[in-house]
Amino acid sequence: MRKQIAAANWKMNLTYQQAIALLQTIIAADITLKENHSVVFAVPFPYLEKAIGTVQHRKNFLISAQNCSDRKSGAFTGEVSTEMLKSIEVNFCLVGHSERREYFGENNLMLADKLNLCLVNGITPIFCCGEALGTREQNQQNSYVERQLRESLFHLTREEILKVVIAYEPIWAIGTGKTASTAQAQEMHAFIRSALKNQYDAAIADQISILYGGSVKAANAKEIFGSKDVDGGLVGGASLNATEFIEIIKALK
């Protein structure tokens, strides 16, 4: 059974006190999770260790970094390596979020290096992909996303690809209040799964969780997550509100 994941992406929001209080409120809600459900919080670097301690006693609650360096170690001031993340027992790391691509110049090849380093260090990468509005308007979204997968992911072995989570996040839906329609999300998720099948095989494609991201909120989560190939969501804005995010977790199928 594929893992169904509700992942919070806090981005550069919340003070330490606000962040830990939010985490504690969500934990205290004592949501019943199924065996194949995971709740992941992608928190700012300075909060990682405390966040890990806070969720430690809750099965299926896991902590993610929002980014990592594409270099192993050395003279790269301000960077955080996957080895460092591993040393404090971080479980997941977002790789290639569209904001990293857009504002920090991350490209597909650099992201392939980040993925490799995550996997070497036992960290599950949540690989983000998705097209901009112009690409969709020209109906080029499939080839665009296929190229992101090919250049960043498809060098991985069968064993390695099974350790990756994919998040499809159409850029035009991130933080805009516009969500892809359920049909648009399902269509792209099915396309990604077919690309995985072509590159690997059907059994592998069937096991990889593909999350949807882009203006997911309590009011639309159930419908979006209900689609056959959508295995949960990567949630920005709505994950900063405990009540909203609790409802989103409850919407996992």
Say whether residue 174 binds ligand PGA (CB under 6 A): yes
Residues 6+ away with beta carbon under 8 Å from 114: 68, 69, 70, 82, 93, 95, 96, 125
Residues 6+ away with beta carbon under 8 Å from 242: 22, 25, 26, 29
User: How is residue 11 written in tokens?
Assistant: 């981005």
Among 3, 4, 6, 9, binds ligand PGA (CB under 6 A): 9
Say whether residue 44 binds ligand PGA (CB under 6 A): no
Say whether residue 216 binds ligand PGA (CB under 6 A): yes
How far lies 66's CA from each of 42, 85, 90, 116, in Å? 5, 11, 11, 16
d(CA 212, CA 94): 14
d(CA 132, CA 196): 22
Among 96, 130, 170, 236, binds ligand PGA (CB under 6 A): 236
Say whether residue 164 binds ligand PGA (CB under 6 A): no
3-state secondary structure at position 110: helix
Say whether residue 209 binds ligand PGA (CB under 6 A): no
User: How is residue 125 written in tokens?
Assistant: 């990468």
Say whether residue 169 binds ligand PGA (CB under 6 A): yes
Residue positions annotated with a catalytic role: 97, 169
Say whether residue 235 binds ligand PGA (CB under 6 A): yes
Give me the DSSP letters along 184-243: HHHHHHHHHHHHHHHHS-HHHHHHS-EEEESS--HHHHHHHHTSTT--EEEESGGGGSHH
Q: How many residues bind ligand PGA (CB under 6 A)?
A: 13
Nearer to ligand PGA, 70 or 169 (CB): 169
Closest residue to ligand PGA using C-beta atoms:
236
Say whether residue 219 binds ligand PGA (CB under 6 A): no
Among 125, 130, 170, 214, binds ligand PGA (CB under 6 A): 214
Nearer to ligand PGA, 3 or 96 (CB): 96
Q: In whole angstroms, how close is the CB of 135 to ligand PGA at the nearest point?
A: 17
Residues making contact with ligand PGA (CB under 6 A): 9, 169, 174-175, 213-216, 234-238
